Amino acid sequence: MGNLEIIERVAIRAARAAGRIHLRRLSHTTASRKSNAIDLVTEADHEAEAAILDVLQREFPDHTILTEEGSGNCTLTGDNRWIIDPLDGTTNFAHTYPQFCVSIAYESRGRIQLGVIFDALKKELFVARRGAGAWLNRRPIRVSQVRSLETSLLATGFPYDRRERRRFYLCFWEAFMLRTHGVRRTGSAALDLAWVACGRVDAFWEFGLKPWDVAAGSLLVEEAGGRVSNMDGTRLRLGAGEIIASNGQLHEKMIETLAMVRPEAERRHAEMLREEQVPTGIERI
């Protein structure tokens, strides 16, 4: 068995360990704030992370680990690095909304080689290995064949600063809402990417994501025949915070639309900031 196959088996074992905690803790957890009132963390996040680290560090004690909750030997780089979100969709989980997962990626010398996303509630295991394809519950998956935005279904999300930058983000939502069959906002970027990979949605965009949100899902999309990039079309950087993932056929149109909308989005955001600086009780002239 090759080294990457061994790594895949361990990653799946770690993902299933986290998934068992998700199921056990669902409806039996409390949420607390992280960076602001809408950025939450639960006991399940911490317990799932600990379960994943226990599996990985036993098998690969010399590997570095980057996790959302900050456990492990967290570094920005490493010849062998794991990038982990132990519970993607924490707000959903805290409200028992059934859209959350664990996301685990393995990176070698700066390139993602393996991605595993496990939705324990739906019993769906997504796996991608570089150069070897993508699977859902051991069956090969492919992106959709939709060719036009007008007949597409998109997914997106809103970052944790959405209250402060609401007009900026809503500009893009409005633009795609008018150009497609619809836009879905599910609350789990990792699952949105997995759903692009298996053709349930045709494309996805989002601002403000972190490496653990996109590392595994980006490989799934690529290995399923799709395309992933920064919003300007350049090669995806995990820390860039601006991602487009698509079936490939919609990618250039997505880039074009985002570029066209951005100046108006920036204008509306600046306008909102000026309005909020006007002292309460003073009439605007």
Q: What is the CATH number of domain 3-140?
A: 3.30.540.10
Q: What is the mean pLDDT of residues 190-210?
A: 97
pLDDT at 59 over 90: yes
Q: Is-contact 48 23, C-beta < 8 A? A: no
The enclosing H or E element of 120 equals none
Q: What is the mean pLDDT of residues 9-30?
A: 93
pLDDT at 223 over 70: yes
pTM of the model: 0.91
Q: What angle do CA 228, 56, 99 make, to 5 degrees?
A: 50
29: nearest Cα among 41, 16, 17, 12? 41
The DSSP-derived string for 198-218 is: TTSSSEEEEES--HHHHHHHH
Looking at residue 131, its pLDDT comes to: 96
* Cα 161 from chain centre: 16
Q: What is the mean pLDDT of residues 193-218?
A: 97
pLDDT at 76 over 80: no
Query: What CA–CA distance (Å, rounded) separates 38 from 17?
Result: 27
Q: What is the mean pLDDT of residues 76-97?
A: 90
Query: What CA–CA distance (Å, rounded) separates 137 from 130?
Result: 17
pLDDT at 34 over 70: no
Query: What CA–CA distance (Å, rounded) separates 179 from 151?
Result: 9
Q: What percent of the chain has pLDDT over 90?
A: 77
Write out the CATH class of domain 149-276.
alpha beta
pLDDT at 279 over 80: no
Q: Return the domain boundaries, the chain.
A: 3-140, 149-276
pLDDT, tens digit, for every residue of 132-183?
Answer: 999 999 999 999 999 999 999 999 999 877 677 888 899 999 999 999 999 9
